[in-house]
């Protein structure tokens, strides 16, 4: 039986431009499933009224009693459950996604935290390391360490906002790895453990899902990370 896909179209029926629909379309193609694509416009909400929401992509699976699924992520999960051949989520894809997270953490989270705690790092160093650290880091930043962190308080909201992708995951799952911790969690936890070790600066607000996740990470493995010297900010 064919799967019907409601797909956002422009003035021309074949002008399909929704990134979310393209996720679903590529997933269906990946599965080599027979699909009937139905062009849909923003004002045609009555066409998908049966979903009790007004957005595409929507699929209706004729091979499964006409089951309707919407939201590109939910569609991908459904397709793997219903049609386990050519999985969309595999062990290798999980490794690649974790590598993506690694790159994001190193390019967004690390630099954001550095600008908050750079002087704290310096102040916790062994005396024999301080000159090296100051010279090498001031060369990288092109300014004194004190100047790097001068706007730390003002830039803190921007840093917190930059964590929104991580916050979105932790609003849905207990860990970056899902219901259980995975290496993705260890990658993401690293910079927060780093900051905790050397700074009293409160990087996260108590109501932030990332704060609750950080607390869970500190308590993992018999409180291994929490037992390390640090500030409970």
Q: Does the pLDDT of residue 123 top 80, yes or no? A: yes
User: Would you state the pLDDT for residue 233?
Assistant: 67
Instruction: Show the domains of the chain with their CATH numbers.
Output: 3-82 (3.40.30.10), 91-223 (1.20.1050.10)
User: Would you state the pLDDT for residue 232?
Assistant: 82
Q: Does the pLDDT of residue 15 top 90, yes or no? A: yes
Return the SS3 of 39.
Answer: strand
8 to 29, 35, 43, 72: CA distances (angstroms): 17, 15, 11, 13
Residue 214's nearest CA partner among 176, 179, 183 is 176
Express each pLDDT in 81-92 by its tens digit.
999 999 999 999
Q: Which DSSP string do the residues of 149-160 spell out, in sequence order?
A: STTHHHHHHHHH
Average pLDDT over residues 44-58: 97
Residue 166's nearest CA partner among 127, 108, 126, 220 is 108
Average pLDDT over residues 103-121: 97
Cβ pair 60, 68 in contact under 8 A:
yes
- The CA distance from 157 to 152, in Å, is 10
User: Would you state the pLDDT for residue 27?
Assistant: 95
Average pLDDT over residues 11-29: 94
Cβ pair 40, 7 in contact under 8 A:
yes
Average pLDDT over residues 52-66: 96
User: Would you state the pLDDT for residue 84?
Assistant: 95
Express each pLDDT in 194-221 by its tens digit.
999 999 999 999 999 999 999 999 999 9
- pTM (predicted TM-score): 0.84
């Amino acid at each position: 039986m064919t799967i019907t896909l409601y797909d956002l179209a422009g003035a021309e029926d074949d002008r399909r431009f929704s990134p979310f629909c393209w996720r679903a379309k590529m997933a269906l193609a990946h599965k080599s499933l027979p699909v009937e694509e139905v062009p849909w416009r923003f004002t045609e909400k009555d066409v998908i009224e049966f979903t009790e929401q007004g957005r595409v992509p929507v699929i209706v699976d004729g091979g499964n009693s006409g089951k309707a699924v919407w939201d590109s992520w939910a569609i991908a999960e459904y397709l793997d459950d219903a049609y386990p051949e050519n999985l969309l989520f595999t062990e290798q894809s999980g490794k690649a996604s974790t590598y993506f997270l690694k790159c994001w953490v190193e390019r967004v989270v690390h630099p954001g935290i550095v600008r908050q705690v750079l002087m704290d790092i310096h102040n916790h160093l062994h005396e024999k390391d301080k000159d090296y650290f100051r010279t090498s880091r001031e060369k990288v930043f092109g300014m004194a360490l004190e100047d790097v962190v001068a706007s730390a308080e003002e830039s803190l909201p921007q840093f917190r906002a930059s964590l929104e992708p991580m916050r979105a995951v932790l609003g849905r799952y207990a860990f970056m790895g899902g219901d259980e911790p995975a290496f993705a969690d260890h990658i993401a936890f690293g910079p927060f453990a780093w900051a905790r070790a050397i700074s009293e600066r409160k990087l996260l607000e108590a109501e932030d899902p990332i704060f609750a996740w950080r607390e869970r990470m500190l308590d993992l493995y018999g409180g291994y990370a929490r037992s390390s010297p640090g500030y409970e900010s």
